[in-house]
Amino acid sequence: MNVSRRQFLAGMMFSGAGFVSTDSLFFERYFVEMNEFDIGTPSNSSAAVKILQISDLHLKKLTDHHRQLADQVNDLHPELLLFTGDIIESEKGLPHLDHFLQLFHPDAQKAAVMGNWEWMLKVDLNKLQHVYRENNGELLINRSKAFTIKGERLLVTGVDSQVNGHPDFAEAVRSVGREKHHIVLSHCPEYRDRIEREIRRINTSRPADQKLNIDYVFAGHSHGGQVALLGYAPLLPPGVGRYVRGVSKGIGTSILPVRFGARAEIALFHYHTAETA
Protein backbone atom coordinates (compact mmCIF):
# COMPACT_ATOMS: atom_id res chain seq x y z
CA MET A 1 0.00 0.00 0.00
CA ASN A 2 1.41 3.37 -0.98
CA VAL A 3 1.33 6.10 1.66
CA SER A 4 1.20 9.66 0.43
CA ARG A 5 3.41 12.36 1.93
CA ARG A 6 0.32 14.01 3.39
CA GLN A 7 -0.80 10.76 5.04
CA PHE A 8 2.70 10.18 6.40
CA LEU A 9 2.89 13.66 7.92
CA ALA A 10 -0.60 13.32 9.37
CA GLY A 11 0.41 10.01 10.94
CA MET A 12 3.52 11.58 12.42
CA MET A 13 1.47 14.45 13.83
CA PHE A 14 -1.04 12.11 15.45
CA SER A 15 1.78 9.98 16.86
CA GLY A 16 3.48 13.05 18.28
CA ALA A 17 0.24 14.30 19.76
CA GLY A 18 -0.34 10.90 21.32
CA PHE A 19 3.13 10.91 22.86
CA VAL A 20 2.69 14.42 24.28
CA SER A 21 -0.73 13.52 25.68
CA THR A 22 0.57 10.35 27.32
CA ASP A 23 3.60 12.15 28.70
CA SER A 24 1.73 15.17 30.07
CA LEU A 25 -1.35 13.36 31.39
CA PHE A 26 0.35 10.29 32.80
CA PHE A 27 4.13 9.87 32.85
CA GLU A 28 5.27 13.26 34.15
CA ARG A 29 2.46 13.37 36.71
CA TYR A 30 2.68 9.88 38.18
CA PHE A 31 6.29 8.73 37.72
CA VAL A 32 7.83 10.86 40.44
CA GLU A 33 11.47 11.78 39.91
CA MET A 34 13.81 11.68 42.91
CA ASN A 35 16.57 14.27 42.87
CA GLU A 36 19.41 13.97 45.37
CA PHE A 37 21.72 16.67 46.70
CA ASP A 38 24.60 17.03 49.15
CA ILE A 39 24.38 20.25 51.15
CA GLY A 40 26.25 21.66 54.11
CA THR A 41 29.94 20.79 54.22
CA PRO A 42 30.50 17.18 53.12
CA SER A 43 33.16 15.45 55.18
CA ASN A 44 34.30 11.89 55.63
CA SER A 45 33.72 12.30 59.35
CA SER A 46 30.26 13.87 59.19
CA ALA A 47 27.05 11.88 59.37
CA ALA A 48 24.58 13.60 57.09
CA VAL A 49 21.01 14.25 58.14
CA LYS A 50 18.57 13.03 55.49
CA ILE A 51 15.99 15.71 54.69
CA LEU A 52 13.28 15.05 52.12
CA GLN A 53 11.09 17.76 50.60
CA ILE A 54 7.52 17.19 49.45
CA SER A 55 5.75 20.15 47.90
CA ASP A 56 2.50 21.03 46.15
CA LEU A 57 0.87 17.65 46.62
CA HIS A 58 -2.63 19.08 46.02
CA LEU A 59 -4.09 16.06 47.78
CA LYS A 60 -7.79 15.57 47.12
CA LYS A 61 -8.07 11.89 47.99
CA LEU A 62 -5.63 9.11 48.81
CA THR A 63 -4.82 6.92 45.81
CA ASP A 64 -2.38 4.16 44.91
CA HIS A 65 -0.18 6.90 43.46
CA HIS A 66 0.21 8.41 46.93
CA ARG A 67 0.82 5.02 48.54
CA GLN A 68 3.56 4.31 46.02
CA LEU A 69 5.01 7.75 46.71
CA ALA A 70 5.11 7.00 50.44
CA ASP A 71 6.85 3.68 49.72
CA GLN A 72 9.39 5.52 47.57
CA VAL A 73 10.04 7.99 50.39
CA ASN A 74 10.30 5.30 53.08
CA ASP A 75 12.88 3.42 51.01
CA LEU A 76 15.11 6.51 51.29
CA HIS A 77 14.88 6.56 55.13
CA PRO A 78 14.63 10.34 55.62
CA GLU A 79 14.87 11.68 59.16
CA LEU A 80 13.07 14.95 58.48
CA LEU A 81 10.25 15.54 56.01
CA LEU A 82 9.58 19.08 54.80
CA PHE A 83 6.12 19.90 53.43
CA THR A 84 6.38 23.24 51.65
CA GLY A 85 2.73 24.13 51.12
CA ASP A 86 -0.26 23.39 48.89
CA ILE A 87 -0.41 19.93 50.41
CA ILE A 88 -4.22 19.88 50.49
CA GLU A 89 -6.80 22.09 48.80
CA SER A 90 -9.74 22.01 51.21
CA GLU A 91 -10.85 20.67 54.58
CA LYS A 92 -12.15 17.58 52.77
CA GLY A 93 -8.51 16.70 52.27
CA LEU A 94 -7.70 16.61 56.00
CA PRO A 95 -8.59 12.94 56.63
CA HIS A 96 -6.73 11.98 53.46
CA LEU A 97 -3.68 13.93 54.64
CA ASP A 98 -3.90 12.15 57.98
CA HIS A 99 -3.90 8.76 56.26
CA PHE A 100 -1.11 9.86 53.92
CA LEU A 101 1.14 10.95 56.80
CA GLN A 102 0.48 7.65 58.56
CA LEU A 103 2.11 5.87 55.61
CA PHE A 104 5.53 7.29 56.50
CA HIS A 105 7.84 5.78 59.09
CA PRO A 106 6.61 7.11 62.45
CA ASP A 107 10.13 8.11 63.55
CA ALA A 108 10.48 10.57 60.67
CA GLN A 109 9.94 14.09 62.01
CA LYS A 110 7.96 16.55 59.92
CA ALA A 111 7.77 20.31 59.43
CA ALA A 112 5.20 22.04 57.24
CA VAL A 113 4.13 25.48 56.05
CA MET A 114 0.97 26.85 54.48
CA GLY A 115 0.51 27.30 50.75
CA ASN A 116 -1.76 29.65 48.86
CA TRP A 117 -4.37 26.93 48.22
CA GLU A 118 -4.81 26.10 51.90
CA TRP A 119 -5.52 29.78 52.51
CA MET A 120 -7.68 30.34 49.45
CA LEU A 121 -10.00 27.44 50.29
CA LYS A 122 -10.04 28.29 54.01
CA VAL A 123 -8.59 25.14 55.54
CA ASP A 124 -9.07 25.22 59.33
CA LEU A 125 -5.63 25.92 60.81
CA ASN A 126 -6.33 24.19 64.11
CA LYS A 127 -7.47 21.03 62.36
CA LEU A 128 -4.49 21.11 60.01
CA GLN A 129 -2.07 21.60 62.91
CA HIS A 130 -3.75 18.72 64.76
CA VAL A 131 -3.22 16.38 61.80
CA TYR A 132 0.48 17.24 61.59
CA ARG A 133 1.02 16.92 65.34
CA GLU A 134 -0.72 13.54 65.44
CA ASN A 135 1.85 12.38 62.89
CA ASN A 136 5.07 13.64 64.52
CA GLY A 137 4.92 16.95 62.69
CA GLU A 138 4.51 20.67 63.21
CA LEU A 139 2.82 23.35 61.11
CA LEU A 140 4.99 26.46 61.24
CA ILE A 141 3.25 29.75 60.47
CA ASN A 142 5.71 32.58 61.08
CA ARG A 143 7.52 30.72 63.83
CA SER A 144 10.51 28.46 64.42
CA LYS A 145 11.03 25.03 65.93
CA ALA A 146 14.19 23.15 66.86
CA PHE A 147 14.58 19.51 65.85
CA THR A 148 17.24 17.17 67.21
CA ILE A 149 18.48 14.62 64.69
CA LYS A 150 21.53 12.41 65.15
CA GLY A 151 22.48 14.52 68.13
CA GLU A 152 22.51 17.73 66.06
CA ARG A 153 20.19 20.68 66.66
CA LEU A 154 18.52 21.88 63.47
CA LEU A 155 16.34 24.99 63.65
CA VAL A 156 13.51 25.19 61.12
CA THR A 157 11.75 28.50 60.52
CA GLY A 158 8.47 28.43 58.64
CA VAL A 159 6.98 31.55 57.05
CA ASP A 160 3.44 31.95 55.79
CA SER A 161 2.61 31.93 52.08
CA GLN A 162 3.38 35.17 50.27
CA VAL A 163 0.27 34.57 48.14
CA ASN A 164 -3.00 34.67 50.13
CA GLY A 165 -1.17 34.51 53.46
CA HIS A 166 0.64 36.94 55.78
CA PRO A 167 4.35 36.08 55.86
CA ASP A 168 6.36 37.69 58.64
CA PHE A 169 9.95 36.52 58.82
CA ALA A 170 10.85 39.00 61.56
CA GLU A 171 8.13 37.56 63.79
CA ALA A 172 9.23 34.02 62.96
CA VAL A 173 12.77 34.67 64.23
CA ARG A 174 11.94 37.12 67.02
CA SER A 175 13.31 34.76 69.70
CA VAL A 176 15.96 33.16 67.49
CA GLY A 177 19.65 33.88 67.83
CA ARG A 178 22.66 32.58 65.96
CA GLU A 179 22.20 28.91 65.15
CA LYS A 180 24.74 26.43 63.91
CA HIS A 181 22.18 24.90 61.53
CA HIS A 182 19.19 26.98 60.46
CA ILE A 183 16.88 26.45 57.47
CA VAL A 184 13.74 28.25 56.32
CA LEU A 185 10.57 26.92 54.68
CA SER A 186 8.64 29.28 52.41
CA HIS A 187 5.96 28.18 49.98
CA CYS A 188 6.68 31.05 47.59
CA PRO A 189 10.32 31.21 46.46
CA GLU A 190 10.16 34.95 45.75
CA TYR A 191 9.89 35.59 49.49
CA ARG A 192 13.55 34.61 49.75
CA ASP A 193 14.44 38.15 48.65
CA ARG A 194 12.44 39.57 51.55
CA ILE A 195 14.11 37.14 53.95
CA GLU A 196 17.53 38.30 52.76
CA ARG A 197 16.61 41.95 53.34
CA GLU A 198 15.13 41.20 56.75
CA ILE A 199 18.25 39.34 57.86
CA ARG A 200 20.42 42.33 56.96
CA ARG A 201 18.07 44.69 58.80
CA ILE A 202 17.81 42.52 61.92
CA ASN A 203 21.53 41.82 62.10
CA THR A 204 22.48 45.51 62.06
CA SER A 205 21.23 45.85 65.64
CA ARG A 206 22.44 42.52 67.02
CA PRO A 207 25.77 41.55 68.59
CA ALA A 208 27.89 39.09 66.65
CA ASP A 209 26.85 36.07 68.69
CA GLN A 210 23.16 36.81 68.04
CA LYS A 211 23.28 37.55 64.32
CA LEU A 212 21.07 35.35 62.16
CA ASN A 213 22.73 32.97 59.74
CA ILE A 214 20.40 31.05 57.43
CA ASP A 215 21.85 28.07 55.60
CA TYR A 216 19.09 27.25 53.09
CA VAL A 217 15.57 28.25 52.04
CA PHE A 218 13.28 25.45 50.81
CA ALA A 219 10.37 26.47 48.57
CA GLY A 220 7.87 25.16 46.04
CA HIS A 221 4.79 26.79 44.45
CA SER A 222 6.04 27.03 40.86
CA HIS A 223 5.34 23.41 39.78
CA GLY A 224 8.33 24.01 37.51
CA GLY A 225 5.86 25.98 35.40
CA GLN A 226 3.81 22.75 35.09
CA VAL A 227 4.20 23.12 31.33
CA ALA A 228 7.73 23.97 30.20
CA LEU A 229 9.28 23.99 26.74
CA LEU A 230 13.00 23.23 26.56
CA GLY A 231 13.38 24.43 30.12
CA TYR A 232 11.35 27.60 29.57
CA ALA A 233 8.15 27.96 31.59
CA PRO A 234 5.91 30.56 29.90
CA LEU A 235 3.29 30.67 32.67
CA LEU A 236 4.29 31.05 36.30
CA PRO A 237 2.09 31.94 39.27
CA PRO A 238 2.60 35.11 41.33
CA GLY A 239 5.13 34.59 44.09
CA VAL A 240 7.73 32.75 42.00
CA GLY A 241 9.76 35.78 40.95
CA ARG A 242 13.11 34.90 39.45
CA TYR A 243 13.26 31.51 41.13
CA VAL A 244 12.27 28.61 38.86
CA ARG A 245 15.34 26.40 38.98
CA GLY A 246 16.53 25.20 42.36
CA VAL A 247 12.92 25.14 43.55
CA SER A 248 10.83 22.00 44.02
CA LYS A 249 8.60 21.23 41.03
CA GLY A 250 6.25 19.51 43.45
CA ILE A 251 4.02 16.53 42.84
CA GLY A 252 0.44 17.56 42.12
CA THR A 253 -1.14 19.89 39.59
CA SER A 254 -3.46 22.88 39.78
CA ILE A 255 -5.96 24.34 37.30
CA LEU A 256 -5.12 21.79 34.56
CA PRO A 257 -4.22 18.15 35.34
CA VAL A 258 -1.14 18.11 33.09
CA ARG A 259 2.63 18.29 33.37
CA PHE A 260 4.96 18.65 30.42
CA GLY A 261 8.67 19.35 30.74
CA ALA A 262 8.14 19.66 34.49
CA ARG A 263 8.09 16.14 35.87
CA ALA A 264 6.77 15.64 39.40
CA GLU A 265 9.59 15.34 41.92
CA ILE A 266 10.71 14.79 45.46
CA ALA A 267 14.13 15.95 46.63
CA LEU A 268 16.43 14.22 49.09
CA PHE A 269 19.07 16.39 50.76
CA HIS A 270 22.05 14.91 52.58
CA TYR A 271 22.68 17.76 55.01
CA HIS A 272 26.24 17.43 56.31
CA THR A 273 26.11 19.20 59.65
CA ALA A 274 29.16 18.11 61.64
CA GLU A 275 31.65 20.41 59.94
CA THR A 276 29.49 23.45 59.22
CA ALA A 277 30.25 26.74 60.92
pLDDT for 57: 97
pLDDT for 230: 63
pLDDT tens digits along 34-75: 999 999 987 765 679 999 999 999 999 999 999 999 999 999
**Under DSSP, is residue 152 helix (H, G, I), strand (E, B) or coil?**
strand
Helices 125-134 and 94-102, interaxial angle, to 10°? 10
Does any domain span residue 152?
yes
Does any domain span residue 25?
no
Range of the domain at 232: 32-272
Q: Which amino acid is at 252?
A: G
pLDDT for 90: 87
| b/e burial code for range 7-37 (CB count within 10 A of at least 16 → b) | eeeeeeeeeeeeeeeebbbeebbbebeeeee
Query: What is the pTM for the complete model shown?
Result: 0.86
Does any domain span residue 116?
yes
Contact between 53 and 155 under an 8 Å Cβ cutoff? The reply is no
In which band, very low, low, confident or very high, does the pLDDT at 20 lie, cut at 50, 70 and 90? very low
Q: Which amino acid is at 181?
A: H
Does any domain span residue 10?
no
Does any domain span residue 7?
no
Mean pLDDT over residues 120-143, rounded? 97
In 3D, which of 65, 86, 80, 89 has the Cα closest to residue 110? 80
pLDDT tens digits along 214-243: 999 999 998 766 676 666 666 777 898 888
Q: 87 vs 259, which has greater pLDDT?
A: 87
Helical (H) or strand (E) element with 54: strand 49-54
Does any domain span residue 3?
no
pLDDT for 244: 74
pLDDT tens digits along 71-111: 999 999 999 999 999 999 888 999 999 999 999 999 999 99
Domains in the chain, number: 1
Does any domain span residue 206?
yes
Does any domain span residue 228?
yes
In which band, very low, low, confident or very high, does the pLDDT at 136 lie, cut at 50, 70 and 90? very high
CATH of the domain at 114: 3.60.21
How many Å apart are CA 273 and CA 141, to the nearest integer?
A: 25
| b/e burial code for range 144-164 (CB count within 10 A of at least 16 → b) | beebebeebebbbbbbbbbbb
